[in-house]
C-alpha cells in the first residue's frame, strides 16, 4: 500500500487549483485546499503535510511573509507562485528560506517540474533527518555507556579499562546490547540509598557526582578528605552553621583549609555578631551530624553564603549529607539552586 503524501494548497484562484490537482494524482497525494492564510495555519497546527503550494496573492493577505512563517514555523517546504513582475524581488527576499519560487503565469510542464523538485527536496530532507536521528541515538547510547562506566569508576573504583571490559562481557554473556547493560547499571545505582541532598539535586535534574571515602563512622578532617579523594583543597568545601545575636541561623561554605572571619560573616549577614553553633546542636538545627553536614536538605532552608572564589572552578565538593560521602558539582548550579550569595568571609 502506497503511503500517500498530504499536500496543502493555499490559493484564492479558481483556475490553478484544478491544474494542481491533475498534477498531483490521487493515488500518490491527498490534496487539502485553503483559500485563506488563517485557515491554512489552522490546518498546519492540527495536521502534518509533506509540503505546501502557495499562490499569491491570498484573500486575507499577499502571502510572501506568511509563506516564510509556514516554512520556518511548521518545518515544511513551500512552493510559492508569484506574479512575474515581482519574481526577482521575492526570490531575493526568500533566498535563505526553504521556499522554491516560481513565476506566474507558467505552463503545466514548469509547474510539474516545480512539484517534482519539491518532492526531491522533501525526500532528501527526510533522509537527512533520519540520518540525524540515527546519529543522535548513537550519541545518546554512547553517553549512557559512558555514564555507566563513570558509575563503575566512582561507585566501585574500577579502572576505565576494567569498566569497559565489564560492560562488554555482561553484554556478551547475556546476549544484550552494551547500552542495555549501561541502563541496567544506571537504574541499579539510582535505587541506592540517597541522601536528602542527592534527592534535591535529582529533583531539579542537576548533574553531580558522588565520591565516597573511608571513615569509621566519625568525622574526618576536611583536608584529609581532600587528600583521600585526590582533590585540590581549594575545591573541597566545609559547611558551617552560625548563629547571630538575633538568634538567626546562617550557613557558610568555605574551603576546608581556610577559617571563617566572624566579623566579615556578621557584616555580610547584616547582623551585629555571629558565632559557631555548639557541636551538640548540629543535628537539632540541621538534621545532619558533624562531618556530614550538607548545605542541601537541612531541616529548614537557612540563608547560605559561599566563599567568592568558588566560581573560579568548574566543580567544587561538599558533604553529601552523611559521613564518607561528598558531592561534586558545578558551583554555579548550587548557587542558582539555593540563591546563595558569594562573599568574602575568610581570614586573610
143: left (phi over 0), alpha (psi -120 to 50) or beta: alpha
What was the pLDDT predicted at 178?
94
DSSP category for residue 26: T
pLDDT at 218: 63
| pLDDT tens digits, 1-36 | 568 889 999 988 777 778 888 888 888 888 888 989
Closest CA to 78 of 107, 58, 108, 105: 58
d(CA 46, CA 278) in angstroms, rounded, equals 64
207 vs 69, which has greater pLDDT?
A: 69
Per the CB < 8 A criterion, the answer to whether 56 and 10 are in contact is no
Q: What is the pLDDT of residues 38-47, one digit of tens each?
A: 999 999 999 9
Q: And the C-alpha cell for 192? A: 541506592
Q: Is the pLDDT of residue 339 over 80?
A: yes
Beta bridge partners of 125: none
- Say what the pLDDT of residue 2 is: 63
Cβ neighbours for 308, distance < 8 A, ≥ 6 positions apart: 342, 343, 344
Phi, psi of 244 (to 5 degrees): -95, 175
Q: What is the pLDDT of residues 302-336, one digit of tens each?
A: 999 999 999 999 999 999 998 888 998 999 999 99
Q: What are phi and psi of 266, to 5 degrees?
A: -65, -40
Coil, helix or strand for 103? strand
Beta strand 29-34 with 5-10 is parallel
pLDDT band at 170 (very low <50, low <70, confident <90, very high): confident
Residues above pLDDT 70, as percent of the chain? 96
CB 92 within 8 A of CB 44: no
pLDDT reading at 62 higher than 60: yes
What stretches of the chain adopt beta strand conformation (E)?
Answer: 5-10, 29-34, 51-55, 77-83, 99-104, 209-212, 237-244, 249-255, 274-276, 304-307, 316-319, 325-329, 341-343
**CA atoms in the 13 A half-sphere facing the CB of 58:** 24
pTM tops 0.75, yes or no: no
Residue 191 confidence class, pLDDT cut points 50, 70, 90:
low
Q: Are 152 and 141 in contact (CB under 8 A)?
A: no
Amino acid at each position: 500500500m502506497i503511503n500517500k503524501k498530504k499536500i496543502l494548497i493555499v490559493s484564492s484562484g479558481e483556475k490553478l487549483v484544478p491544474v494542481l490537482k491533475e498534477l498531483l494524482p490521487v493515488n500518490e497525494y491527498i490534496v487539502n485546499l485553503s483559500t485563506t492564510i488563517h485557515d491554512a495555519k489552522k490546518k498546519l497546527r492540527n495536521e502534518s503535510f509533506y509540503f505546501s503550494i502557495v499562490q499569491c496573492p491570498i484573500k486575507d493577505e499577499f502571502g510572501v511573509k506568511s509563506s516564510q512563517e509556514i516554512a520556518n514555523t511548521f518545518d515544511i517546504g513551500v512552493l510559492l507562485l508569484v506574479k512575474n513582475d515581482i519574481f526577482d524581488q521575492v526570490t531575493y527576499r526568500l533566498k535563505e528560506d526553504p521556499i522554491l519560487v516560481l513565476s506566474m503565469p507558467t505552463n503545466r510542464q514548469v509547474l510539474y517540474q516545480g512539484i517534482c523538485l519539491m518532492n526531491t527536496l522533501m525526500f532528501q530532507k527526510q533522509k537527512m533527518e533520519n540520518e540525524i536521528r540515527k546519529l543522535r541515538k548513537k550519541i545518546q547510547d554512547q553517553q549512557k555507556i559512558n555514564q555507566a562506566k563513570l558509575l563503575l569508576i566512582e561507585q566501585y573504583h574500577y579502572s576505565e579499562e576494567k569498566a569497559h571490559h565489564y560492560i562488554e562481557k555482561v553484554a556478551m554473556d547475556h546476549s544484550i546490547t552494551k547500552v542495555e547493560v549501561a541502563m541496567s547499571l544506571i537504574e541499579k545505582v539510582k535505587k541506592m540509598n540517597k541522601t536528602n541532598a542527592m534527592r534535591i539535586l535529582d529533583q531539579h535534574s542537576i548533574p553531580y557526582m558522588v565520591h565516597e571515602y573511608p571513615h569509621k563512622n566519625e568525622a574526618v578532617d576536611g583536608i584529609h578528605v581532600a587528600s583521600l579523594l585526590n582533590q585540590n583543597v581549594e575545591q573541597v568545601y566545609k559547611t558551617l552553621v552560625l548563629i547571630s545575636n538575633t538568634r538567626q541561623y546562617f550557613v557558610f561554605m568555605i574551603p576546608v583549609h581556610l577559617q571563617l572571619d566572624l566579623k566579615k560573616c556578621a557584616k555580610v549577614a547584616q547582623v551585629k555578631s555571629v558565632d559557631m553553633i555548639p557541636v551538640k546542636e548540629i543535628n537539632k538545627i540541621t538534621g545532619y551530624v558533624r562531618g556530614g553536614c550538607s548545605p542541601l536538605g537541612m531541616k529548614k532552608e537557612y540563608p547560605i553564603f559561599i566563599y567568592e572564589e568558588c566560581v573560579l572552578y568548574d566543580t567544587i565538593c561538599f558533604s553529601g549529607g552523611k559521613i564518607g560521602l561528598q558531592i561534586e558539582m558545578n558551583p554555579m548550579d548550587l548557587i542558582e539552586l539555593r540563591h546563595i550569595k558569594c562573599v568574602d568571609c575568610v581570614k586573610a
